[in-house]
Amino acid sequence: MIRLLLLDIDGVLTDGRVALDERGGESKTLAYRDIDAVFQARREGLRVALVTGEASPLVEVIARRLEVDTVARGAKEKADALRQLCAAMSVPLAETCYVGDGDRDAAALSLVGLGLAPADASPEARRSASRVLAARGGDGAVAEALALIRHLNAGATGAGA
C-alpha cells in the first residue's frame, strides 16, 4: 500500500528545461494533468511532498501552485532526503512512491516501495526504478504514476485491480 508520493521537480513535474530571459529570469512549465494529479492524489488520501536538488525561488512558486507544504530543497543526496522525509512524516519507505529522473535519483528509486522513472529518465534512473513510465517528465509522468498507485493500492486492499 502506497501512502506517500514523493516527486522530484526538474525532469518529473517539468520537462527538465529552464527558459532564461534577458534579465536572467527563469521559467519552467508544468502540465495541467500533472498539476491535477497532485491535487487528486491528496483527495484520495495520499500524502505528497517534493524532493529537489534545487533551492531557487521557482521551487517555492511550484510548491505554492501545487499547495504542497513539505519540500526537501537543495537535496543533492536524494536517498538521504527520502529517509529524512519518511521519518518526519512517519511513513515507512516501503509505503512510499518516489518519482525521479536523474542519476542522483537512482539510489532513492531503489530505496522505496515503488520507484518510478519517466520514459526520458537517465539510463541509471531507469535501471534503478521498479518501473519506467510511458510518459516523459513534464508530460504526464505524475498523472501516470498516480494511476499506477491507484491500481496497486486497489489490489492491496482487495478492492479489485
Residue 69 main-chain phi, psi, to 5 deg: -85, -30
Q: Letter for the amino acid at 93? A: L
Q: Which three cell numbers stand for residue 104?
A: 542522483
Q: Residue with C-alpha cell 512549465?
A: 29
Q: Model confidence at 159, in pLDDT bands (50, 70, 90)? A: low
CATH of 4-156, one of 3.90.180.10, 3.40.120.10, 3.90.1170.50, 3.40.50.1000: 3.40.50.1000
Residue 11's nearest CA partner among 151, 150, 133 is 133
Q: What confidence tens digit (pLDDT) does each residue in 43-91 have?
A: 999 999 999 999 999 999 999 999 999 999 999 999 999 999 999 999 9
